[in-house]
Amino acid sequence: MQPPHFNNQKIKVLFVCLGNICRSPAAEGIFKKMVADEGLESEIFVDSAGTSGWHKGELPDDRMRMHGKQRGYDFCSRARKFDKDDFDNFDYIIVMDDENYRNVKKLAESEDDAAKIHLMTDFSNKYSRSQVPDPYYGGASGFELVMDLLEDACQNLLKEIKERKA
């Protein structure tokens, strides 16, 4: 696949997890702040979605919002379901785990669509985990681990996008 065309075109990044109430909205919020801190809001668009529609329209999980707030993030997006049209609308589709990778890949209609899908941990530099674990049924330490993993991977994703734009 050719890299996205960056000349005068906004790069669009979509983060995907299962319910779109923990990991993907956290990644969206973290990445949006990093993009804003770099003054790149006019060049990079960020969104999130879930492979299930269970929580459509809901705010992120209260615990995730609290952990984000403690680190200076505002997780305020509303949950939505991933749709195959997202392949046409996004350059990067970043999934949190293998199950969601498979679910998104099933909707890909071309090699170009499939080439847009990446695991979040593909961008990790400090951690050797293969997936971002779902913290939903765990305690505070699980949410903190997810935040650590997402901050690291988002930082490296932004670095890659900036290098490709250069």
Active site residues: 17, 23, 134
Query: Cβ atoms within 10 A of the Cβ of 4, count?
Result: 16
- One-letter amino acid for residue 109 of the chain: E
Cα–Cα distances in Å, from 14 out to 60, 103, 137, 144?
16, 15, 24, 22
